[in-house]
Structure formats: structure tokens, C-alpha cells
Chain A
Amino acid sequence: MNTKNLSFRTRSIHVGSNRDPQTGAVVPPIHVASTYVLPGAGEPSEFDYARTGNPSRQRLEQLVASLEGGVGGLAYSSGMAATHGAMMLLKQGDHVIAGADIYGGTYRLLHKVLNQAGIEVSLVDTRQIHRLDQAARDNTRMLWLESPGNPLMSITDLEQCCRWAKSRKILVGVDNTFATPVLTRPLEFGADIVMHSATKYLGGHSDALGGVLVTSQTEILERLHFFQNAVGNVMSPWDAYLVGRGIKTLELRVREQSSTALRLAEFLSQHPRVRSVNYPGLEQHPGYEIARRQMDGAFGAMISFEAGDDFSQAKTMVESTGLFQLAVSLGAVESLIEQPASMSHAAYDREDRLAHGITDSLVRISVGLESFDDLKADLSQALDSMD
């Protein structure tokens, strides 16, 4: 079947899920074999050893590549393994610029792991292009972006940043975990690599761990695959199956969760105990206009807000919800709540955290598939519990 002309949702269901030629199964089998019988000694075969390639993993890679509009993709054992996979394109003495509003784990990888390999790092507010000019060096090789950012939901103009980087021959990688390809496809704006923590919206059910890279260039894909095969941080076929199964409802989930999130953000912004709400779908959000251009019809399902007056009030709030469960991670059917200062962004030094606007009273929610009324009632009673 030629899938090129099919819409996003139809591709989500069918790409990489061709009828199994051997059994006719409507859903392809999960290939668990670690190794493959070869046609002859030294003779090449499509698959030889599962670290190098596996049919179940390959189907997922083709699927995400199609949704992101890339030439190909690679699936990793976790989102961080994928980010690390992309960073392996760098070498000693290279400089990477990353957004200031990024996932704590990426911050840790850059500042506490890659720095040991002699890679230099600058964190920059990527909403302001002149800051990129200030940070750029002769040895700058990569720009790493997140939009919406984590946890402040800052919106970076991907097209503008990609144009800036291209003129300096700097590779652009975008962590598209929050937006998902349903809402934003960074390769269309000129990015070279898109990264996903597939654990989040792609899998969508809090039951698989994985990461994916998709690139717009064959040459980059081949280098990434060389590194992945050498390092071995591949996604298991079981998880690849679950993530692929999750993607079949990706568009439905993301649009529904985003629409609930917008209503919750509006509710929160009216609430007397909420000091500020970060959600790009609110008109007062500084990135609202860019988000409208860059995000396809919705603004995602992540919200952060400042609850109460201090660390302990925010802590009380996140511990008082009934439906929202206190857990890190995001993007699944179950709504989650957390306090970045003590949880997702605890890997930051406190000074860095405060410098980047992650205050002690910041609360982050991942809006799930539950009904709006139930979630609103839950947040409302949790906010009241601070008194």
C-alpha cells in the first residue's frame, strides 16, 4: 500500500503494520529472536542479530519516521538513550547549545556526563535569537531545542532557530516529546533530528520505556545507526510492539488530552490560589502566537502553574489530588501531577533551577484522558487543601 497520500491518522494505524506475509495476521507478530539464521556463511541478510535490527523495532521506526516526515528512524531503550544517541554525533572539543527550559535528564546528560567527554555546553533562552548569537562559538556543532519547554512550557520558534543554525552549519535536534508529531513536525521547520521519549505520548499508556530518533538525512541516519549498533541501547521488541500499538490512537489521545488541558488551564488561571499558569494555549502566554503557527490546532496536554505561596504548600497540593497521581513522567492516559523542584528537575542545581524560573511552588500536570469535569473537581479540591 502506498501510504504517502494518506492522512496522519490513517498512517498512524497502517504504516509498519502491513499484513504479515507468512501468517496473514492483521497485526504483525512480535519478533523476539535475538539472532537470525543466515542464508550462508558471510552472506548478508536483512536481519542478522537483534541489536543491529529487529523486525518489530523496524516497524516502529518506519512508523514514527512517517509521522515525523523523515527518511528513517531509530528506536532506543529509553528517551535518554535516544538523546544520548544523537549527542554521539558530537566529539571532544565540540560545543552544544541547549534550551534553558529542558528536561532535567537532558540537563544532567549535558552537564554531568558529556562534559566529561570534553563536550562544552551552554544553556540559552532559545526564545531570543540574539542569545543564540551571544552563545555561538566557532566549535558550536549542535543546537538542542524543546518546544514546549519542560517545565515552563516556553515556546521556541523552531523555524527561526533552524534558519539561524543552518546559516552556521550547526545541526539542530528537537526533543518533540511534549508536542508530538500530531501537533508539531520539526523536520518541516528545518530541524535535522527529532527526538521522542516514546515512553510518553507515543506509547501513551505508562507501560513501555523507549526513545526514538528521526532524521531528515540519510547520512545522519547511517551514522546514528552505526553508533546505536556499537553501543547497543536498542528498544526491546515487546516495548516496540506496545509503543506501536499506542500510536494507533495517538492522534485521538493527543487532541482529546489537549482540549481538556486548555479548559483546565483556563480554570487554573481564574483560581485565586494559583499565581501563574504556563500553558501556550492561553492568550496571555508569551509564546501564544508562535504556538498557534507551530502547533497544529492544539497546544498539548502539559501545564505548569504556581500553587500557593511556597514549597510546602505546593507539596501539600500535589499530595492531595485523587485522580491526578503523584508521579514523574507524562503523556499517558492517566493524569499525573508533580513538583519539578523535588521531582523531575531535582537533577538541576537549585540556583540553576531558580535562575530558569523553576520556583519551589511550581506544579506540573500531565493531563490524561479522564473527563474534564472529574479532573477539574480534583484540582479544585487539591488547591483548597492548601488552606
Chain B
Amino acid sequence: MSSVMANAYMKMFPMEGEKKVSAGKRNPVLDVPEFNKAWNLHRDTSVDIMKRFEYMSQCLNFTDKDTAAIGESKEILAANLEAVLDHIYWEKLVNDPWLSKWFRDETGKIAKEYVTIRRARQRRFLLKILECKWDEEFWNFVRWVGAVHVPTFGFEDLYVPVRLNLALWGYIHQYLFNFLAEELKNDPEKLRRITTAWTKLFWLIIDIYHIDYFAPWM
């Protein structure tokens, strides 16, 4: 007996369907202290979101300087947030041949009320980022936003592809950078500081956002 989710899983991870053959010898990985240490780190970062953030931060070298730089960008971005969101939602998303699929009603027309709500939710996401509070509440919020885009709560039909997330976040990323480059064209050092910090933060967010998309070993 199979389910929609089981079939989807097997298509996503075809290695699971392969016949497993024993190597005929024991795997010594956990006898090696360095590997054991890595295992503990892997386990901790899989179950503790703040440890995950701490590890990813040191891995990406996301420091207080980056937080300060994102704070510096607040005065520029907050003042232009509505225009940025209008562009992303009312110019890009509703016109993109693939992304717009998620914003259409059953007749194929753009569902304007729905776009308005999605735009409002993205606005909240960006406002929370601009507060620069990287605490457990913030990272649980990021994780929750990701989790509600997949069948975490039992809605088997609900699956927003990773590709769409990457396309949207990638588009926002480059759009913000071009916007900042224009605003800070007379201050290249500030531009470098801010865009470096935002790049690291985007990758941190992409990791936490997709926790419930993937098994921890992925």
C-alpha cells in the first residue's frame, strides 16, 4: 500500500528504492573522535535551532559587524519597503510565467486579494529581519514560515517547491542589491558592508526556512 506522500518521497529520493548491499565490514566512523565530535554537532544542530544558527553563523562568519551592517541598511530599505514589495509582487511575481502560477485563481486570473495577502506576509518577514533580533523567536518564525509551505500539518496537497523559494529569494536578493547599489553608489565601502551582511543572512534564512523540507542529513 502506498500513499501520495510515499510515492512523492520515492520519486524525490530514488536511492531509497535501491537494493542495499552490506560492505561486509563494520563502519568505524564513530570510533574516530573527530567524526564523533562532528556527529554530536550534527545532532545538536538538527534539534536545537539556536545551535544551528550559532554553527551556521560561525561557518558563514556572520558576526555582530554584519548585524550592524543590516541595521545600517534599515534606513534605506524601510523607507522604500512598500515600493520594493510592490515591484516584487505586482510587477515580477504576477507576470512571471512560472512563479505567477501560485497567484492565480481557478480561472487562471491573478487573484489580487491573495497577492495582497502574500505581499503583506512578505512585508512582515522583511520587517522582522530589519529588527535584527536573531533570537529563538525569530528563527522559529523563519522555520515556521518554511514549514507552512509543505504538508507539515497534514495537508498533502500543499507543497511549494524549493525551486520557487529559491527563485523568489534569489530575485529579492538581486533586486535588493541593485537597489542598494543605486542608493549607495557614492559610498562603496558601505555598500560592500551591507551587501556582504545581507548575503550571509540570506543563506542563513534559506537554511532555517527549509528545515522542514528536508531530512537533516540532506
Does A pair with B? no
Question: Which residues of B are in contact with A by a Cβ distance under 8 Å?
Answer: none
